[in-house]
Amino acid sequence: MCLPDGAHASEEEFIYFHLPPVPAWKKYPQSTLFGLACFRQINAEDLVNKTADVTRTKVQKAVVIIATQPILGSIRSKLGLVTQAFFAQRDFTKIEILDTLYENLDTSVKMPFADNTLYSGISLRELLFKFRHKTLQLVKLLLLRKRILVFGQKVERLSAYQYGLISLFPELLRHLEDVGSPELDNVDIKIRPHRRSTLLSSTRSMDLLRQYHSEAHKAKMIQLGHPLKIFGKNSFFQPYIPLQQIDLIMSPETKSFLVGTSNSIFTHHRGCSLDAVAYVSKVWY
C-alpha cells in the first residue's frame, strides 16, 4: 500500500490511505486510522551501510505516519523533509531522525483541531478546475451511495481530489470514523442543545463569544442533518487502494465506495461493478 504501482518511475510520492482499527491497540479509539506515507528510492550502490536485505539495484522505502484523525495534509511537508533527510544519511539503520519526528508530532499535534489544520492541503479550486460541472455529478453519486473509482498515475493528486470532494459536505471531514472498512458502523450523532454563554466584561468575553458561535454553528449543522452518513455499514472510502484489496470492493457485502488507484486492472475488471470512473489524467465519463 505504501509503495504504489509504478513507484519505480517516481523519485518521491505521497500516499494517503485508511486502515480499519486494530483491536490490540486498546489505548486508541476503535475507529478508522488515517495513514500518510512518503515514498523515495535510492541506488543500492550509494548506500554507505548495505544490509543483508538489500538484494536489488535500487532500494525503495516509505516513512509512514498513522493518525487517528485526517490531519495528514498539515504534516505532509514535515514528513517529506524528514524522509529526504533519512535517505540522505544513506544508512537505513540510523532511525534517530524518525524518533525525533514522532516526538515532535506527538507534542505539537493536539485536539481539538482548527479548520485550518483539518482542511490543510485541500484545494477546492483545483478540484473544480479539473472536473468543472461534473464535480456536481460526483457529489450526486456520493449522495446516492454509488461505487466510484478515481483513476490516475499521480497517487497524491488522486487523494487530494477525493478529500476535496469529501470536504464539500459540511462536517463530514470531522466524522470519518467509519470509512476504513465496510464492516464499520460506529458513528451515532446525537443532537445536543448548546448552552448560552453569559458575556462578561472581562478579557474572557471574546473567547466566550467565539465559543458560543462555534457551538451554535455545530448545533445548527446537526439539526440540519449534517454530517450526512455517506459512509458506514457496507460502504467505505480509500484514497489509494492497492491491487491486493480488490477483493474488498468485489465483495457482495460492499455496496458503495469512493476509492482511488493507479492500477488500470480496477477499471477493466467486471467484478468491480463500477458505477462511475473519474479519470484524473484524461476525459471523465
**Sequence-ordered alpha helix ranges (H) in 25-143:** 76-88, 96-108, 115-118, 124-131, 134-143
What are the grid coordinates assigned to 64, written together?
Answer: 509512514
User: With the C-alpha atoms ordered 208, 212, 215, 218, is the resulting torsion angle positive or negative?
Assistant: negative
Tally DSSP H helices, then E strands, for the chain: 9, 7
Over its C-alpha atoms, the chain yields an Rg (Å, rounded) of 21
Of the listed ranges 43-47, 200-204, 248-252, the one predicted with least confidence: 200-204
Residues 98 and 208 in one domain: no
Q: Is residue 14's pLDDT more than 90?
A: yes
Q: Cis link prior to 23 (omega < 30° from 0)?
A: no
pLDDT (tens digit per residue) in 211-231: 555 666 667 666 667 789 999
Q: What percent of the chain has pLDDT over 70?
A: 85
Residues 206 and 260 in one domain: no
Q: Is residue 137's pLDDT more than 70?
A: yes
Residue 218 placed within a domain: yes
Residues 233 and 137 in one domain: yes
Residues 259 and 135 in one domain: yes
Q: Which domain holds residue 89?
A: 7-115
pLDDT of residue 192: 42
pLDDT of residue 193: 41
Residues 163 and 219 in one domain: no
Residue carrying the nine cell digits 478508522: 32
What are the grid coordinates assigned to 142, written together?
Answer: 456520493
DSSP string covering 124-171, please?
HHHHHHHHTTHHHHHHHHHHTT-EEEEE-S-HHHHHHHHHHHHHTSTT
Residue 39 in contact with residue 15, Cβ under 8 Å? yes
DSSP state for residue 72 in the 8-state scheme: G
Find the mean pLDDT for residues 15-32: 92
Find the mean pLDDT for residues 131-159: 95
Residue 1 placed within a domain: no
Q: Is residue 76's pLDDT more than 60?
A: yes
Residues 45 and 86 in one domain: yes
Residue 96: pLDDT band with limits 50, 70, 90? very high
List phi, psi (to 5°) of 163.
Answer: -65, -35
Q: Is residue 126's pLDDT more than 90?
A: yes
Q: Which of 93, 115, 137 is the last residue of a domain?
A: 115
| 253 residue type, one letter | E
Residues 181 and 194 in one domain: no
Residue 2 placed within a domain: no
